[in-house]
A and B are shown apart, each in its own frame.
Chain A
Amino acid sequence: MKTYDAIVVGGGHNGLVTACYLQKAGLDVIVVEKNDWVGGAAVSRSLTPGFLYSNCSYVCSLFRPEIMRDLDLPRHGLQVLPYEGGAVLTRDGDYLANYREHDPHIREFARYSKRDAEAYERYSRDVTRQCRLIQPLLLRTAPDPFSFKPRDIQELLFIAKKFGDLSPHDLAQTLRFWTMSIADFLDEYFETDVIKAFLAISGIIGTALGPMSPGTAYVLLHHYMGEVDGSVGAWGFARGGMGAISKALAASFQASGGTIRTGAEVAQILTGKGRAEGVALADGEEIHGRLVISNADVKRTFLKLVDRDSLPETFLHRVRHFKMRGSSGKVNIALDSLPEFPALPKNSPCTKGDLHFTDSIERMERAYDDWKAERWSRDPMIDLMIPTQIDPTMAPPGKHFMSCFVQYCPPRVEGRDWTDADRDAFAETVIGQIADYSPGFRDRIIHMEVRTPRELEQEVGLTEGNIFQGELTFDQILFNRPVPGYAQYRSPVPGLYMCGSSTHPGGGVMGAPGRNAAAEILRDLKRHPKEMSAAHDVL
């Protein structure tokens, strides 16, 4: 029976990235995926004729350009389209638009507050400074500060040098920034509620915390350190939806000789003689490999797939308490025509970006209050996009795909599991909110896909439907992600590695965990991958 060099459990984008690098380095790799398609949460599926949805993730910025280049993803069909615009529609009938050009952007803020308009420059500078500190760590394994191994010490020195470039004042700011709430952080710059609400969104997306919860300022940073072709902090659409990323990865993997098995759910990671030696599928079939790399989240991997008796007790305790709480839902809608938002001027570039209706921090925090009570938010925060205004490949001409990311949405409803009726009621709060700002909206709907944490867990496999495979709070990043002592992609089981977003540097369609995991695996195999280019310089 064939033994693969490496088996990747789960064909999410990180699993595919790891698989690509290992295959290119000469290993014989198989990716085993339970669904009939690959991509995990980076998928584009057609659920109604003529339309393609970005079913889960929906925008692209974090995906590392080094990976796109190394794996030749453009040749395999990946194209990232920058978009401009965005707006928060306010309850008083006005809006706060987001313009790409600097001066109009400042002028737009100045409509609300001249002071805040200027504060935005200082704010951008400060956030960018923090990004410059963190960004170089994305494509590096987080050093273990307590191991005292030469490589960890060397990496710690690298980080120390980054910090050394900062003034004592900036260092103090950094520590504050990593621990503050986004609301407190924004209060230090701005006086206008809608401006704060607009900027706070990045601090809560994907996170089971409210804007007033400490730690959310760092989450904002996580959303800022991406880029679109050198434009740092910019976001774009993957042409053809986020599945285009996975499709390109799969094509690249197969082009270098890798094997993908879809419709094959891994039920167990097999261990023997203290090592990982393969996987057992749900139908009983076994696939053998010298290494097993799990793209599944840390809870799913170690609480469901690996035998209890191969794992240390404290490790398991940490895994059980790794915070991975579902906080968001997704509503994907096929529309017969482009919805109108009368508050926005005609032909405004802001409709091409992300639209929001939450115009105050307080509303955002109240939405979180519902989550704490295990209810979906009655007044949710919606991140609404209509990518088909730019991307011609996802809907017939004149028709549109609308992606609504919705927060908050609890993993369980008032102590019980989600029901279909709950799901429909959840969708109704979303549709209702949009319809308040867009007359005739309901009549345009052709088809709708509604995804609560239940669907995200069942289909994608994300525990509790947490989109980041674990929250990005300060206690769960760097050498603490996912578990102290196991933050370098290796697990307690020899031969078993982790490569998903549960590992450093975390979630979002970034690919960095997948690449870093491949680097560690190749290091263990004493191979020096020439296919892995050096991390780009910070711009």
Chain B
Amino acid sequence: MERGINNERNGNQGLLRRIAGTGLSARLLLGAALIVLPIVTAALGRSYVVYLYSLVMVYVIVTLGLNILTGYTGQISIGHAGFMAVAAYTSAILTGRFGVPFSLALIVASLLAAALGLGLGVPALRLQGHYLAIATLGFGVAVGQLSASWDKLTGGYQGMKAPVAAILGFRFDTDLKYYYLVLVLTWLSVEAAQNMLCSRPGRALMAVRDSEVAAQAMGINLAKYKVTAFAVSAFYAGIAGVLHAHLTRYVSPYDFNMGVSMTLLSAIVVGGLGSVPGSILGAVFMTILPHVFSRVKNLPLILAGLSLILVVLFLPYGLVSLPLKIKSAALRARARRATKSGNA
């Protein structure tokens, strides 16, 4: 796992700055595109695609969260969908049954997920590698089983409805309206993660990943930062879980099964471990794949597995490193040509 990690300074700088060179103008450009795109899509009568955009962003948030834990801190989680599930059900129950405002439910549910992350992080301190993988797997399975069998609270396998999200009386009752809510929260999540990762706590997390002994010798409390990583990561999963619930307006055990946890793990590896843009790329790739190839049964899964293998073999730093790889290949080719013509 450790080998596949990349987080060059550049990789940690603003995602937008990286995508289109530098500065504010690039950010504005991307921002404008993200604002206009769904309007155009909706105008073309493709409301489902707008829904899909929102879904992609929901997965961007949780993938980013998982990357903070696994890519940046080196702690694996194979049950991350469990955190999404807890927050999704919490929000659905709070808003649907108790009439709690959506914004409050979002905060409470995400904090509950974070608290669970903290709770799982403490025993995880004693575990490493495979053992941590199994413990988190157990968590994911347990949440799934619980949500399926606790009929009274969750509606069992039939699931439960989640009401339309509303903030201060404004109802996000169309795919387009909800898209903007998700966009704002995704943007904030990405910025916050980016900021945190390039400052003192972010460096400490990466130090824990790169060398536990050296990190301790620098005064970094391993336990504190590992548990923090679990909590932050679960918080992100919580936000995503809540947004997912009110996007589909429905929560069921199938939404957050082990398959989802595996997809998330694949997303960070395919996109790029220890990279914010990588998290985004991975989430986009893994979310869109099943919808593009949905006509052929099982094809998306096969493609997902294949892309995972190809990335691990040929792009250990993930899709995010592809441009760099192409650039260096081009440079090498040019150097070869130069020596050839030099000899002639």
A and B associate: no
Q: Which residues of chain A have a CB within 8 Å of any CB of chain B?
A: none
Q: Which residues of chain B have a CB within 8 Å of any CB of chain A?
A: none
